Amino acid sequence: MTASPATTSTAWTNWAGQQHCTPAVVATPRSERELLAAIEEAGDAGRTVRAVGSGHSFTDACVTDGTHVDLRHLAQLVDADPATGIVRVQAGMPLHQLGPALHEYGLALENQGDIDRQTLAGALATATHGTGERFRNLSANVVGCRLVLADGTVRELRADREADADLLRAARVSIGALGVITELTLRTVPSFRLRKVEEPRPLAEVLDRFDELAATHDHYEFYAFPYSETALSIASDRTQDAPAPLPAWRRWLADDLVANRGLAAFSHAGRRLPTRAPQITRTMTRLLSRDERTDHSHRVFASERRVRFTEMEYAIPRAALRETLEAVLAMIERERIAVTFPIEVRATAPDDAFLSTAAGRDTAYIAVHQFAPMPYEAYFRKVESIMDGVGGRPHWGKRHFQTAETLAPRYPDWDRFQAARAELDPHGLFTNDYVRRTLGPPPSPSR
């Protein structure tokens, strides 16, 4: 079998700069054949294997002292059929490259998150999502994949084969615990434009009208600012209007000065003067203004994020949104927590991937952030205790303190995922501390 390009003792750090490891081997295969060789070599040497994408997970999901598989060379749009909307994409392709590539064929992802630095496989593996009560997360549009297994075989899973149904529902959101995906088959939609309006509104008004706003707009979300009664309302709607991006000076003001340079300055001020966090946050909200832009969807969904932060996000029952968010905001004020980052609130439709955070229920998401150099654990643990009270499910790629024991009751199809894991990776080759902690030890293949 062809040897895979590899290096040794290469240090790895995630995007936020808070997860580190030095894997024994870094494999950078240029073909599925080279990937098979790398996995076979790792198994023979007794090393576990973790696939790594852009490093945008805030958890230790990719941390290993075994073999890192970096799929940067498997990052092509293999095929696209504008008539059916079905496309085949190699797993290592970053979302920020996939959007323009699909657009060349008159296609687009039907929904997307607000960060597009992740690789496609990494975003799917952690149940990454956008917002919009009629739209599901990214993984819901996977209709097939090629999965390299620990035994050196390649399993092709297809939605149109009944025998593959459970395995594909497991593979769509797998945290990399089943094998290494090399190629994905996706359902896309005809390309479209979005009109996005951002404007400050009273938080009480946004909460009162959230159901109406989510139903009225294709994609609705808002940012709630601790210690403030102001929210930033963000509504995006499909439109036939011609592209009308922000003028260059306005784009610099909104996207560079306020959203990045300004946020960085306020974050550093909050770090130096943590007791002044309430005043800093209220000052930030006074800089908010109304912005409107229209452009192709892949240019509107995502925003540039240059300020390093760490994040926790919980998926909760949609009906529990208001009480849960108000409890988080009240806790922050009561505990006088030094936080200057806003809290992001979104909603999506339910889906059926076994480990999807939106599995089987209309879902709202509450995401809290902390400036990377500042302490986060006490804050996040207090938030998590509130989320536990409403059956919250943590985003698999963002900070949380859950274990397999606490997570299993929150997923109706937990045992079906474990059965797929037992079949595809019975000996735990694709395991690390994060997988053991959150999914448990590799299940017996006879389970």
Residue 323 and residue 390 in one domain: yes
The residue from 167, 190, 213 where one domain ends is 190
Mean pLDDT on 236-242: 95
**310 with 390, same domain?**
yes
What pLDDT was estimated at residue 264? 80
- CATH assignment at residue 107: 3.30.465.10
pLDDT number for residue 42: 96
Per-residue confidence band for 446, with pLDDT thresholds at 50, 70 and 90: very low
- Predicted pLDDT of residue 257: 52
Give the separation between CA 98 and CA 88, rounded to whole angstroms: 11
Tokens (6 digits) for 307? 């300020």
Instruction: For residue 123, give the 3-state DSSP assignment.
Output: helix
d(CA 432, CA 128) in angstroms, rounded, equals 21
Residue 47, in any domain of the structure: no
Asked, for residue 264, whether it belongs to a domain, the answer is: yes
| pLDDT at res. 182 | 98
Q: pLDDT by residue (tens digit) across 410-429?
A: 999 999 999 999 999 999 99
Contact 297, 99 (CB under 8 A): yes
Domain for residue 316, yes or no?
yes
For 190-202, what is the mean pLDDT? 97
Residue 251, SS3 per DSSP: helix
> Do 293 and 152 share a structural domain?
no
pLDDT value for 354:
98
Least confident range of 59-63, 104-108, 257-261, 342-346: 257-261
Give residue 166's pLDDT band: very low, low, confident or very high (50, 70, 90): very high
Q: Which whole number is the average pLDDT over 62-66?
A: 97
Per the domain annotation, does 197 fall within a domain? yes
Whole-number Å distance between alpha carbons of 36 and 149: 8
- Is 94's pLDDT higher than 90? yes
Q: Please give the average per-residue pLDDT across 3-28, as a whole number.
A: 87
250 and 318 in a single domain? The answer is yes
- Tell me which residue has tokens 């359902």: 187
Last residue of a domain, one of 157, 175, 190: 190
- For the record, the structure tokens of 306 come out as 């240059």
- Written as six digits, the tokens of 77 are 């749009």
Mean pLDDT for 397-407 is 98
- 184 and 86 together in one domain: yes
**Are 200 and 288 part of one and the same domain?**
yes
pLDDT of residue 1: 53
Residue with tokens 């089943």: 178
Question: Residue 262 sits in a domain of what CATH number?
Answer: 3.40.462.10
pLDDT beyond 90 at 249: no
Residues 242 and 348 in one domain: yes
444 falls within a domain: no
**Does residue 429 lie in a domain region?**
no
Residues 130 and 150 in one domain: yes
Confidence band, pLDDT 50/70/90 cuts, at residue 263: confident
Average pLDDT over residues 3-26: 86
Give tens-digit pLDDT for 336-356: 999 999 999 999 999 999 999
Domain that holds residue 360: 193-394
pLDDT tens digits, 356-378: 999 999 999 999 999 999 999 99
- d(CA 357, CA 235) in angstroms, rounded, equals 23
CB contact set of 93 (below 8 Å; sequence gap of 6+):
75, 76, 77, 101, 119, 120
Who's near 272: CB < 8 A, 6+ residues apart?
A: none
pLDDT for 254 equals: 60
Please count the other Cβ atoms lying within 10 Å of the Cβ belonging to residue 446.
6
Whether 439 shows a pLDDT value over 80: the answer reads: yes
- Does the residue 125 lie in any domain? yes
Angstrom CA distances, 171 to 70, 166, 417, stand at 19, 9, 9
Number of domains in the chain: 2
pTM of the model: 0.95
pLDDT at 388 over 80: yes
Same domain for 200 and 181?
Answer: no
* 279-287 mean pLDDT: 90
Distance of CA 349 to the CA centre of its chain: 16
With respect to residue 98, please indicate whether it lies within any of the assigned structural domains.
yes
Q: Are residues 253 and 335 in the same domain?
A: yes
Residues 243 and 122 placed together within one structural domain of the fold: no
> 197 and 163 in one domain?
no
Give the residue from 170, 190, 210 where a domain finishes. 190
